[in-house]
Amino acid sequence: MKEFNKKIVLEDGEEYFGYGFGANVENICEIVFNTSMVGYQEIVSDPSYTYQMVVMTYPLIGNYGITDEDYETKQPTIGGIIVREYNNRPSNFRYTKTLSEYLEENNIPGIYGIDTRKLTRSIRDKGSRKVIITDINTGKEEALKKLKEYDIPKDVVSKVSCKKRWYSRTTNPKYNVVAVDCGIKLNIIRSLNARGCNVTIVPYNTDAQKITELKPDGIFLSNGPGDPEDVVEVINLVKELKGKYPIFGICLGHQIISLAYGAKTYKLKFGHRGGNHPVKNFETGKIEITSQNHSYAVDEKSLDKTDLKVTHKNILDDTVEGVECKKDKIFSVQYHPESAPGPQDSGYLFDKFINLMKGE
């Protein structure tokens, strides 16, 4: 058995030993876990994981490599990835590089050989907390000192949002959508393009006048990392534009819409991350299997004093998964209807947005 060369240390002193892959760098992040069985490329390229290190509960990662068509962002900002078994010899005719090569190119560390079942239980029981990935020779006390002195950055939307507007056009467009980029996933844009929308993606701090000048048929509020209360610019934008255009929000966009209407948000113990969360749609009575990635949730009691109505709830912990204000033509969901590679139960939400732009 070869000797360990990397380890992770959590801020409460827990240590796990393993082998490095990807970039050979030290990093400190918030540790979280994801229960998806597939989709590690979409996870490591999702901007919502900025300053987070992700434990994959599925035991084998890397077996189908990385493909050029499946990125969720051009510049990944995930803090690191922790897996049980890493496969560096992919079997997939579409793959263009290995996961380790992709991580190394983008200066992202990985570690494998970890008991991810034990680690996931620790996160579930004790909650998310700070973690350092470091060399095996780093002393525990030294690692704990670094963790104590490090503060995970706030206001991270400004880091991942585009710096200037850009466009994603489609053939025979019917609608013009302005997407406010708080860390937008590319498959959201693909989903809008596929439904006949030209999409103009604008920075998170774009003001209402500039958006109005673009003459949108509808406005989309994207997912993104961090505390929704930090994104004051977008909260104020919703306050100005609600009722003037159809507005659709996903994940962070859902939380921002709720805050703009006067509701409150709170941080979950360990968040929701994975492609297997059951959500009840109150309008249809159906249970949707959803993909999720968030640390914060909307406080249901605080919605009572707003014009928003709860439309969806999580079956596992009863958290709010969707809200709507019909008179303002605004709605949002906490989960990801564009999720790739799946599940795809909730694609109808994009059609609902299209129908609002149609005036139906």
| Chain centre distance of CA 120 | 19
Q: What is the DSSP secondary structure assignment for residue 342, as one 8-state letter?
A: -
Q: CA 146, 6, 100, 60 torsion: positive or negative?
A: negative
pLDDT band at residue 116, thresholds of 50, 70 and 90? Answer: very high
**338 tagged catalytic:** yes
DSSP letter assigned to residue 134: E
Report strand pairing: 130-135 vs 27-34. Answer: antiparallel
pLDDT confidence of residue 1:
75
> Do 6-149 and 157-358 show the same overall fold?
no
pLDDT in tens, 197-246: 999 999 999 999 999 999 999 999 999 999 999 999 999 999 999 999 99
Taking only the tens place, the pLDDT of each residue in 154-173 is 889 999 999 999 999 999 99
Catalytic hit among 11, 30, 288, 338: 338
pLDDT band at 332 (very low <50, low <70, confident <90, very high): very high
Contact criterion met (CB below 8 Å) for 4 and 19 = yes
Q: With bands split at pLDDT 50, 70 and 90, how would you rate the model's confidence at 19?
A: very high
- Cα(145)–Cα(192) distance, integer angstroms: 47
Query: Is 80 exceeded by the pLDDT of residue 336?
Result: yes
Mention the CATH class of domain 6-149.
Answer: alpha beta
Looking at residue 66, its amino acid is I
User: How far is residue 307's CA from residue 103's CA, in Å, rounded to a whole number?
Assistant: 44
Q: Contact 159/50 with Cβ under 8 angstroms?
A: yes
Q: Is 72 a catalytic residue?
A: no
Give the Å distances, CA to CA, from 240 to 175, 207, 211, 233, 245. 22, 9, 11, 11, 11
Q: How many other CB atoms sit within 10 Å of the CB of residue 27?
A: 18
Q: Catalytic: which of 42, 251, 272, 325?
A: 251
Name the DSSP class of 50: B
Residue 250: what are its φ and ψ, rounded to 5°? -125, 135
- E runs forming strands in the chain: 6-10, 15-22, 27-34, 52-56, 60-61, 80-83, 85-86, 109-112, 130-135, 166-168, 175-181, 197-203, 218-221, 247-250, 265-281, 287-298, 309-314, 320-325, 330-333
Q: Please tell me the predicted confidence (pLDDT) of residue 303.
A: 98
Q: Which of 272, 277, 294, 336 is catalytic?
A: 336
CA angle 289, 238, 44 (to 5 degrees): 45
Cα–Cα distance for residue pair 198/182, rounded to 1 Å: 19
Cα pseudo-dihedral 294, 296, 297, 299, rounded to 10: 180
Q: Is 29 a known active-site residue?
A: no
Q: What is the pTM for the complete model shown?
A: 0.96
CATH class of the 157-358 domain in this structure: alpha beta
Alpha-carbon gap, residue 49 to 73, rounded angstroms:
11
Domain positions in the chain are 6-149, 157-358
Q: For position 275, what pLDDT does the model report? A: 86
State the chain's mean pLDDT as an integer: 97
Q: Residue 94: pLDDT band by 50, 70, 90 thresholds?
A: very high
- Closest Cα partner for 153 from 299, 284, 30, 26? 30
